[in-house]
Structure 1
């Protein structure tokens, strides 16, 4: 009985570590935290990110600053998380809704995407990281010009999120350090 309980606890801890990896990805993407993003993939990982990448994750990560430069707002929301483990290998189907406000000249447009990540993870040296990540788009909603209104009265007095180190989280948190998992 004790061995079975220890195995269940190990699986639970591994699933939690993978869940934290997925959440760290969302945070790194939304804050344009490229240093943090690099820590989430194994060196030989693959990333399939639509028109932006299909191949070594290193190439995607090298291009990520350029890809994200026009994105004034980027907001990933994970909904359903399905994980299966087999020792130090795991797979995940991760549902998400991602909001993008993109600068185009002097205008902005919005793209809201509902989709999934098809993930493969590997635990190496005791650490779970992505070994393969592929984006699957299930639907998209666009608005041109942008419908985002950061001057809406409901937001008066609120901290306003921003990409990069200007985001209020960088000054607020002591424990949730940026650039790390």
Structure 2
């Protein structure tokens, strides 16, 4: 493999992970699904199994949060032919809305996504994903300092401004 092809493959694999993060944060299950091969598995906290079950699991749980944000940092990718290993560090924030009993809070988890990537029919996708939680914390939200009314509203679906091209 040439250095240029290796560089391209690494970029394509990193892009799969970024598309996954976007899909989860926008609740775009088709985009999430496009990141996995149909026979892929995901070990993700209390869920372990195939992609259909994984999407059913996250689509039931994630909408209860007001928002989620995946902030990706280090991405190490090692390509060997049509198989690659990737480790993606991320800080994942889940905003829980206020209730009568509790104030709003952010659940913040430092995770690593460990992926076996496979190129099939010229396309890189996840073959197996294992999520490792390195640490977590819960931060209570006290007040607000930013007037969100002055910004484009965030939406967790395809009406979000990021889908306009």
TM-score when scaled to structure 2?
0.89
CA change 1:147–1:46 in 2 (3 A) is farther
Q: How many residues align?
A: 163
CA distance in 1, matches of 2:95, 2:111: 17
CA distance in 1, matches of 2:143, 2:37: 36
**1:138 matches 2:134:** yes
State the superposition RMSD in angstroms: 2.0
- For the 8 Å contact 1:96–1:114, the answer to whether it is kept is yes
CA distance in 1, matches of 2:108, 2:153: 19
CA distance in 1, matches of 2:138, 2:58: 22
Structure 1 alignment gaps of length 5 or more: 1-5, 175-181
Structure 2 alignment gaps of length 5 or more: none
State the match for 2:21 in structure 1.
Answer: 26
**1:80 matches 2:77:** no
Q: How many angstroms does 1:64 deviate by?
A: 2.2
Pairing 1:54-133 to 2, within 5 Å after superposition: 54-103=48-97, 108-133=104-129
Of 19, 27, 41, the residue aligned with 2:36 is: 41
Runs of 4+ in structure 1 over 3 Å off: 103-108, 146-149
CA distance in 1, matches of 2:143, 2:72: 21
Of 161, 164, 180, the residue aligned with 2:157 is: 164
State the match for 1:178 in structure 2.
Answer: none
TM-score when scaled to structure 1?
0.82
Worse overlay, 57-66 or 18-27: 57-66
Q: Secondary structure at the match of 1:164?
A: coil
Q: How many angstroms does 1:115 deviate by?
A: 1.6
Q: How many angstroms does 1:143 deviate by?
A: 2.3
Worse overlay, 38-47 or 161-170: 161-170
